[in-house]
Structure formats: structure tokens, C-alpha cells
Amino acid sequence: MKKRLCILIFALIMLATSCSAQIKHPEWPDSWVRVGDHIGVEAPEGFELVEENDVLSISGIYYYAWAKGEGRAVTNSEGKEAVAYPVQVLLLYMETDKPESAIADWLGIEKENYEAAEGPQIEGFDTLTMTSKEADGAYSGGSAAFGRAPGGAISVEVMTDGGADSDEILKKFISGIHFAESAEG
């Protein structure tokens, strides 16, 4: 019995130490939003979390939205009721071993849906400044950033009704995104 117990303990130790990239979970404040195991978000003052959707987390996809200002009812291009805010920030994180592919796909989608130009310089991100192609859309435009994140890729999109500087909001929001470090480095 003792021999089996020792073998079991040895096997568990070997299994636990064989994980190649264990994540260090820093002591992030409770006010931050955790996105998967890798990201903590400290939203700028005045932004409220309005959607937290990790239903797709089993597939490695996480979606969060923050807003600033009073929401208003709108009908989107598909005829569905939605809520639009003066400023809304959308964060999408995808666990993938091919982050460059996800980033390229996201950039392509944004360029199809918006008039897009190179956005503000943000280290580690490809950025766009966007203007809506729809004259009657809920948002006149915004800014977006796409980059690598631990274990995957991240997209941050700021949409405005025209009354705010989306590039500045994007920079400020990204400065509040914190990545967990892997145990290896």
C-alpha cells in the first residue's frame, strides 16, 4: 500500500512539474476585470463594465464591453434592438497558438466595415482609426488596436458617437491592460 501511495505521489509531482508554462497569478485588485487566466483590466475612470461574456471561454474566446455615458436604444443594421453609448470599449481575447492569424483576420474585418487609416502609435499593437461607412449608424467611428497577448491575441475597439477622442481613449484603456507573466519568463 505504501509503495502504491509513493508511486501515486511521485506521478502527481511529475505531472504538476511537467506543465511547460504555468501562469503566475498576480495579486490584482478586486476592481480589475479578469479576462481568462492571462489578463487583468483596470478600466479608466468613468467607464462601467456593461457586458462580460465568457460563455465561449470553453473555445478560448472572451468578450467584454465597457461604456461611458448614458445608453440609448438603437436599431442595428440587422434590425435588432441594441443599446449604444456615447463611448463604448470592446475587448476580445482569443486563446490561440497563431495570434498573427487572428490579428490579420480582425484587421481585415475592420477594414471591410469602416473607412480605416493607421491609428495612434501604441507599442506592441497594430492600430486603426476608423470612420463609419453607415451615415445613420449608432457610432460615427472609433479606434482599434490588435496585438499579441499571453497565450493568444487581443483586440480593443473604442467606438464613439463623435463627441470623444477615440485615439486618446484607446491609449488610456490599453495602458490599463495588464498581462500575467508565465512562470518560465
Out of 1.20.120, 3.40.1000, 3.40.50, 1.25.40, select the CATH number for domain 2-179.
3.40.1000
Greater model confidence, 4 or 160: 160
pLDDT digits (tens, 9 = 90+) for 17-41: 333 344 555 678 989 999 988 899 9
The full set of domain ranges for the chain reads 2-179
Among 41, 15, 16, 19, smallest CA distance to 28 is for 41
Q: What is the pLDDT of residue 12?
A: 33
Rounded distance between C-alpha atoms, residue 92 and residue 146, angstroms: 9
Per residue in 73-98, pLDDT (tens digit) is: 988 778 889 899 999 999 999 999 99
The reported pTM is 0.81
What tens digit of pLDDT does each residue of 126-170 get? 999 999 887 777 888 999 999 999 999 999 999 998 878 999 999
Element of type H or E holding 10: helix 2-17
Q: Which phi and psi angles does 32 have, rounded to 5°?
A: -80, 150
Strand order through the sheet with 39-41: 33-35, 39-41, 177-179
Instruction: Check residue 25 and give its pLDDT.
Output: 58
CA torsion sign, 104 to 121 to 125 to 172? negative
